[in-house]
Amino acid sequence: MTPPAAHGRDLPHPAREEIRLEAVLHALSDPMRLRIVRELAAEGRELSCSDFVLPVTKSTTTHHFRVLRESGVVRQVYRGTAKLNGLRADDLDALFPGLLGRVLEAADRQAGRV
């Protein structure tokens, strides 16, 4: 895992070779985390934590983003006072070709049934 920098604003992320399938699947198995990933994929760009309107407390939202970051699904960086979140699609596709796309397609189909 990439250690935090000395100034404490950089967050630890797993290197590509450290990302594990079990951790990715666990992260994507939660409806709120899958919702975050779907929004990031739909936007195709980094989004601030405040861009997400989730029906959970701020501390629970923070937990969901931490799970996504520590599993290697998203990369979080500080830009000024904002914490931006970007989908690590390139890393995930290199390690697990087609997985993210298939999960997102399945989530879209499921959302269409509701």
Better pLDDT: 112 or 95? 95
pLDDT value at position 2? 52
pLDDT value at position 4? 46
pLDDT value at position 110? 92
pLDDT higher than 90, residue 49 = no
**Average pLDDT in the 8-34 region?**
94
pTM of the predicted protein model: 0.88
Q: Which domains does the chain have, with CATH numbers?
A: 16-109 (1.10.10.10)
pLDDT higher than 80, residue 22 = yes
CB-based contact 73:103 (threshold 8 Å): no
pLDDT value at position 66? 96
**Average pLDDT in the 40-51 region?**
93
Under DSSP, the state recorded for 2 is P
**Average pLDDT in the 27-55 region?**
94
Ordered DSSP codes for 17-81: GG--HHHHHHHHTSHHHHHHHHHHHHHTS-EEGGG---SS-HHHHHHHHHHHHHHTSEEEEEETT
Instruction: Output phi, psi for 87, to 5 deg.
Output: -75, 135
